[in-house]
Structure 1
Amino acid sequence: MELFLNRISDGLSNGATYALIAMALVMIFKATTLINFAQGEFAMFGGFIALVLATEQGIPMWGAVFGSMVITAVCAAGIERTLIRPFDPSDHLPLVIITLGLFLGINALAGIIWRFDPRAFPELFPSGNALTYGTATLSWYTVGTLVTIAVVSGGLTLLLNKTKIGLAFRAVSSNLESSELVGIKVGPTLQFGWAIAAAVGTLGVCVFVASPFRQLEPNVMVTGLIFAVSAAALGGLDSLGGAIVGGLAIGLVQSIAVPYLGIPSELSLLAAVVVLMLVLLFKPSGLFGTPQVERV
């Protein structure tokens, strides 16, 4: 039982970080019906910026994370304006190729600047355990990740429902053509979505690598992005709440189902891929996504 509780704790902490990245993917998908394959690399680059701000500039850790979120948001907004907006949003092939190119380019750029040697990331939460039950423990890191995802999801909900730009974003994500007809500036609104997604993704990577068992390096999100995409697909690609549920579910599957089924830890990524395939096969809209309706 105590081992089981420990696995639940690990699954929740992993799932919360997957959920943060999944929420960033959902923000892009809601606006463009497109998966941004460069989302994980945006976030990874932001993690390196936070590390530089903290270790080389002496900025307090959470201040460095916030600063990197702002920087990556500005960069993502610039990329959307220069590389994404000139193309027809209804033609996905050029946009997919661009995001794949950004994935490779950002990864290579990070390797050139910081090399591929893993680096320890400063802790964001207190060390030690918040609760102890026999040999089972609930670390402050797990508590911190769950509190972070609650704050982010609450903030995004307020932003999308209580602000003018948030309401415009919801209108564009609901019907792009009708939004143009009522005077909403679609380009800047989509740019806002890219910026918010980059900021949330950066926070997710910073929390992910702040674990004592992980380190920051350019390939840190290559596999993490697959877990996040699986989480977003499971919860529903247009549902922020679904991204949270999907992320926690994927984290628990990775931490509990994989070892108890006797699957080697090296194949834990395969479990996420299997979940993704099952979702796409039996419920393409996800648990909380909006089913696509076509006129006939």
Structure 2
Amino acid sequence: MLQQILQGLGAGAGYAALALALVLSYRFTGIVNFAQGELTMLATYVAWQFIEDGLPYWVALPVTVAIAFLAGAVTERLVIRRVSGEFGLVVTTIGLYVLVNALASLVWSSTLRVFPGPFPDAPPGLAALGAAGLAGLVLGALVLVLRHTGLGLVIRAVAADQRSARLSGIRVGWVLAIGWGTAASVGALAGVLLAPALFLEPGMMTGVLVYAFAAAVLGGFGSARGAILGGLVVGVTETLAGTYVGFVGADLKIAVPLVVIVAVLVLRPQGLFGAPLVERA
């Protein structure tokens, strides 16, 4: 069982990072970013291309995260802020989903590719634990910045009430760009951590986005620590269910996050730490 728990923590770390990216974009726009998975996939292709071109893994990773941050900030400034209304934003993220997926297919084709892991010589359990530890360090540092620094205070103020923040002299536009950039960079980390367990191809993040959404719902949409804890719980639950529950095979593992989503929305809509994603009538 220890082996399965370690593997679940490794997968859960990736789910947690993607769930945190969903939470960050949700806090700034009020809607779920349906393009988050595809933006993550695109960043993963960029990292793969760097590695294929000879860049060491531990150099390609931070370079990719930095590029993803800039791309997310530019996307917010040039696209997201020009759209008004929740419906318009939802349609825009769906449009980005289609556009990015088509772009990746055009540039890299739909050929299945293998992505190297961060610890290729380690046993599977230790490699998964190492990936979880890497994600934990990065996400933990991000949470500390958000909760205990001046920049974090400004970001939380804008996420809570943009009008009040603007009246207080905060440059809301730049903070929103930083928020989207941070979400994109965290998503890039998720893609690089999850890619070794998946085949790299344009549709690789479609199923993963469901797991991340379940993690965000479980933790409470709007809660950074909830997204991280929810990702770990979903990862371990999925792995143990696939191993020890007879009827949950590879084809039915996707049912695990769906069950989590329905159960949370019915029993505890606010999740572990957040506010309800769907208000009861």
| TM superposition score category, shorter chain reference | over 0.9
Note the C-alpha offset of 1:161.
Answer: 3.1
Q: 2:9 maps to what in 1?
A: 12
Q: Confirm whether residue 240 of structure 1 aligns to residue 234 of structure 2.
A: no
Distance 2:129 2:153 in 1: 32
Deviation per residue, 1:114-163 (Å, 9 max, x gap): 0111111122124233xxxxxxxx62311212211221222112321344
Point out the structure with max Rg over C-alpha. 1
Q: Confirm whether residue 21 of structure 1 aligns to residue 18 of structure 2.
A: yes
Q: Confirm whether residue 108 of structure 1 aligns to residue 102 of structure 2.
A: yes
Structure 1 residue identity aligned to 2:194: F
Q: Which moved more, 1:253-262 or 1:69-78?
A: 253-262
Distance 2:38 2:276 in 1: 29
SS at match of 1:265: coil
Q: 1:42 maps to what in 2?
A: 39
Structure 2 residue identity aligned to 1:19: A
Q: Confirm whether residue 69 of structure 1 aligns to residue 69 of structure 2.
A: no
Quick check: 2:3–2:125 contact (8 Å CA) kept in 1?
A: no
Q: 2:90 aligns with which of 96, 120, 125?
A: 96
SS at match of 1:184: coil
Any unmatched runs of 5+ in structure 1? Answer: 130-137
Q: Confirm whether residue 33 of structure 1 aligns to residue 30 of structure 2.
A: yes
Quick check: 2:143–2:225 contact (8 Å CA) kept in 1?
A: no
Quick check: 1:230–1:250 contact (8 Å CA) kept in 2?
A: yes
Distance 1:139 1:268 in 2: 20
Note the C-alpha offset of 1:291.
Answer: 5.2
Quick check: 2:116–2:196 contact (8 Å CA) kept in 1?
A: yes
SS at match of 1:219: coil
Q: Over the residues paired in the alignment, what is the CA RMSD in angstroms?
A: 1.7
Q: What TM-score do the two structures reach when normalised by structure 2?
A: 0.93
Note the C-alpha offset of 1:259.
Answer: 4.0
C-alpha spacing 1:253/1:162, structure 2 compared with 1 (3 Å): closer
Note the C-alpha offset of 1:202.
Answer: 0.5
Q: What TM-score do the two structures reach when normalised by structure 1?
A: 0.88
Q: 1:251 aligns with which of 226, 231, 235?
A: 235
Distance 1:240 1:170 in 2: 11
Distance 1:40 1:196 in 2: 15
Distance 1:140 1:66 in 2: 22
Aligned positions of 1:168-207 closer than 5 A: 168-207=154-193
Q: Confirm whether residue 271 of structure 1 aligns to residue 256 of structure 2.
A: yes
